[in-house]
């Protein structure tokens, strides 16, 4: 069972629309809050730095601190948030604690955003170029 079917059984569902073309339309505010909370976890560059640092494989906390340049308490806090969101997994090995990506789809998300941003930036720079050409003429 996925979230859509869970939500489609909830009372606040709008059943006047078809299933195929508008899954998001049916989501209740409570479900949207869950989605928003997940996006919030990824909305801090420090946490994205940690995620990127784990892209090539697991690291312990000290290695993450070194890779990101963040403070120890800060990294520990962010790792807790990432773990609670199910984005990283924790594994203790003696004194050290190793973290790894638990859900690789975060990279898919980030790359989608990157691609969209690059298109936006390209369009903006083209518009600026047009404006420049117009000003000179």
Partner DNA sequence: TCAATTTATTACTGATCAGTAGTATAACAA
Partner DNA sequence: TTGTTATACTACTGATCAGTAATAAATTGA
Contact partner at residue 96 from DNA, its own copies, none, CB < 5 to 8 Å by partner kind: DNA
Q: Is 117 in the site for DNA (CB under 7 A)?
A: no
Q: Is 57 in the site for DNA (CB under 7 A)?
A: no
**CB under 8 Å to 50, separation ≥6 — which residues?**
64, 68, 70, 75, 78, 79, 82, 88
Q: Quick one: how far is CA 83 from the chain centroid?
A: 13
Name which position in 23, 76, 89, 102 contacts DNA (CB under 7 A).
76
Name which position in 77, 85, 102, 110 contacts DNA (CB under 7 A).
77
DSSP string across 11-62: TT--TTS-SSS-TGGG--HHHHHHHHHHHHHTT-HHHHHHHHHTTTS-EEHH
CA–CA distances in Å: residue 44 to residues 3, 78, 84: 25, 9, 15
Judged by beta carbon, residue 2 or residue 45, the one nearer DNA is 45
Q: How many residues make contact with its own copies (CB under 8 A)?
A: 52
Q: Which residues contact DNA (rule: CB under 7 A)?
A: 40, 44-46, 60-62, 65, 70-74, 76-81, 90, 94-97
Give contact residues for its own copies (rule: CB under 8 A).
Answer: 1-4, 6, 17, 22-25, 27, 29, 31-40, 42-45, 47-49, 51-52, 55-56, 86, 103, 105, 107-122
């Amino acid at each position: 069972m996925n979230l859509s079917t869970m939500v489609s059984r909830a009372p606040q569902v709008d059943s006047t629309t078809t299933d195929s073309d508008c899954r998001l339309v049916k989501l209740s505010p409570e479900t949207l809050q869950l989605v928003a909370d997940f996006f919030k976890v990824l909305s801090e560059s420090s946490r994205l730095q940690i995620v990127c640092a784990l892209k090539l494989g697991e690291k312990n906390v000290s290695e993450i601190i070194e890779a990101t340049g963040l403070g120890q308490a800060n990294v520990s806090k962010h790792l807790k948030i990432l773990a609670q969101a199910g984005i990283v997994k924790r594994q203790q090995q003696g004194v050290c604690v190793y973290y790894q990506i638990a859900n690789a789809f975060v990279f898919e998300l980030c790359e989608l955003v990157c691609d969209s941003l690059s298109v936006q930036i390209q369009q903006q720079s083209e518009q600026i170029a047009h404006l420049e050409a117009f000003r000179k003429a």
